[in-house]
């Protein structure tokens, strides 16, 4: 089907979203007022699954071994579209990343698609994805097969830019521990092997390495254990290191360098190093250009124009990168405050409950619904999306 053929469907979906705009905003505000954190989003999951169940979706809770993860399905078989709902918050900051809006927009798109008979080809899946801010719910769902048989994964993210795609890097954390030997620093200092000194030396080595890393690659570390008393040479010291890189391959290379540095420091200081991955790895995001263009075109009907991201600007990492390795995916940014602001701040949390956010929520829900309908009803578009996905490796 052509875009002209689908125009009545798009109009019906926008009307369906508009009819629910007040209810969707109520959901967004309820989530905003009651922030919950990674893997503990019980009230948020109950609120969202309740809305979906009442609309006739078949809900499965506790998917992929996570109590607050869920899927809600309407229809059967292929083609299949997944709408991703994030709802975890940031400790101490609440919804300072706007996940309350992501959840409400995905919910609105799913409910609109369910209500328009022309969209009953294939199936629509609303996927509740916990712990994006730390824990990687989508990565665990991808590993568990939640996205098997899905033709696209769609979501939007509130931000300070209007960008049609997200320059999201790969990210992982490693724990590095050094084992030395305890001793009294005055009574028998030559018997001690200072594990903390080795850890400090690793920070120095990584500081030198950082000056030679490619663009978008960096290492940031903290000391998580530095000893127990000042009159004991530390027998054990430990640091946690966050690694980011533009691509997953570059991240793997950086992890290898971290290990080499730790082992070199251990050799030089007479300690023993242990290096282990401490978190789920977030893959870099692979954008579906053809579907992002569709989303941008639909969003423009609401007066919001998306552009390409600024070269060289990175906006962090997300576990949607893991989903994008499996299926064509979109993750556009839509601004809810000016470019002089930033997410993960109290000001952004306030913006996530603002009138501008309400306008963006309705517009994004409509654009998501229309893009999903395009995938469900246009076989040529699905083919283009899959071809583009395959070309990214």
> Within this chain, do residues 158 and 250 fall inside the same structural domain, yes or no?
no
Distance between CA 7 and CA 191 in Å, rounded?
A: 79
If you average pLDDT over residues 67-91, what whole number do you get?
97
Distance between CA 282 and CA 85 in Å, rounded?
A: 17
If you average pLDDT over residues 10-26, what whole number do you get?
98
> Within this chain, do residues 159 and 178 fall inside the same structural domain, yes or no?
no
If you average pLDDT over residues 25-40, what whole number do you get?
98
Residues 218-268: tens digit of each pLDDT: 999 999 999 999 999 999 999 999 999 999 999 999 999 999 999 999 999
Distances (CA, A) of 107 to 98, 184, 235, 365, 373: 15, 62, 52, 8, 15
pLDDT at position 302 over 80: yes
pLDDT at position 3 over 70: no
> Within this chain, do residues 155 and 101 fall inside the same structural domain, yes or no?
yes
> Within this chain, do residues 123 and 42 fall inside the same structural domain, yes or no?
yes
pLDDT at position 150 over 90: yes
**Residue 55 CB neighbours (<10 A):** 16
Percentage of residues of the chain with pLDDT beyond 90: 94
- CATH, residue 339: 3.40.630.10
Closest CA to 132 of 120, 144, 140: 140
CA atoms within 13 A on the CB side of 61: 14
Distance between CA 314 and CA 312 in Å, rounded?
A: 6
pLDDT given for residue 177 in this prediction: 98
Task: List, in sequence order, every residue forming a beta bridge with 206; answer none if it has no partner.
Answer: none
- CATH, residue 181: 3.30.70.360
Boundary of a domain, candidates 225, 255, 277:
277
pLDDT given for residue 393 in this prediction: 72
Crossing angle of helices 99-115 and 42-54, in 10° steps, is 10
Handedness of CA 90, 91, 96, 101 (dihedral sign): positive
CA 22 to chain centre: 27
Max intra-chain CA distance, the chain = 86
Considering its fold, how many domains does the chain have in total?
2
Q: What pTM does this model have? A: 0.94
Note down the domain range covering 53: 3-168+285-391
């Amino acid at each position: 089907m052509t875009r002209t053929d689908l125009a009545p469907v798009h109009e019906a979906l926008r009307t369906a979203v508009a009819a629910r705009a007040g209810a969707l905003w109520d959901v967004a505000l309820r989530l905003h007022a009651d922030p919950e954190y990674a893997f503990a989003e019980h009230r948020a999951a109950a609120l969202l699954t309740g809305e979906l169940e009442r609309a006739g979706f078949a809900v499965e809770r506790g998917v992929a071994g996570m109590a607050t993860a869920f899927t809600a399905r309407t229809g059967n078989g292929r083609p299949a579209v997944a709408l991703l709902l994030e709802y975890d918050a940031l400790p101490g900051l609440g919804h300072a990343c706007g996940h309350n809006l992501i959840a409400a927009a995905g919910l609105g798109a799913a409910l609109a698609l369910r209500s328009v008979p022309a969209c009953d080809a294939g199936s629509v899946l609303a996927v509740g994805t916990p712990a994006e801010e730390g824990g990687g719910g989508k990565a665990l769902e991808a590993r568990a097969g939640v996205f098997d048989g899905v033709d696209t994964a769609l979501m939007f993210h509130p931000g300070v830019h209007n960008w049609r795609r997200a320059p999201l890097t790969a990210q992982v954390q490693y724990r590095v521990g050094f084992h030395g030997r305890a001793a009294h620093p005055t009574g028998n200092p030559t018997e001690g092997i200072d594990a903390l000194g080795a850890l400090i030396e690793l920070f120095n080595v990584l500081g030198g390495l950082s000056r030679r890393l490619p663009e978008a690659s960096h290492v940031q570390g903290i000391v998580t254990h530095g000893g127990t008393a000042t009159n004991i040479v530390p027998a054990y010291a430990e640091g946690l290191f966050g690694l980011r890189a533009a691509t997953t391959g570059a991240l793997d290379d950086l992890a290898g360098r971290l290990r080499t540095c730790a082992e070199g420091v251990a050799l030089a200081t007479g300690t023993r190093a242990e290096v282990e991955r401490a978190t789920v790895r977030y893959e870099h995001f692979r954008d579906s250009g053809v579907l992002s263009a569709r989303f941008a075109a639909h969003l423009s009907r609401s007066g919001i124009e998306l552009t390409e991201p600024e070269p060289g600007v990175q906006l962090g990492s997300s576990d949607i990168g893991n989903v994008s390795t499996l299926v064509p995916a979109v993750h556009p940014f839509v601004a809810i405050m000016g470019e002089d602001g930033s997410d993960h701040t109290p000001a952004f949390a306030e913006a996530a409950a603002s009138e501008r956010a309400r306008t963006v929520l309705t517009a994004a829900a409509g654009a998501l619904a229309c893009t999903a309908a395009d995938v469900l009803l246009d076989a040529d578009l699905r083919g283009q999306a899959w071809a583009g996905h395959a070309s990214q490796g």
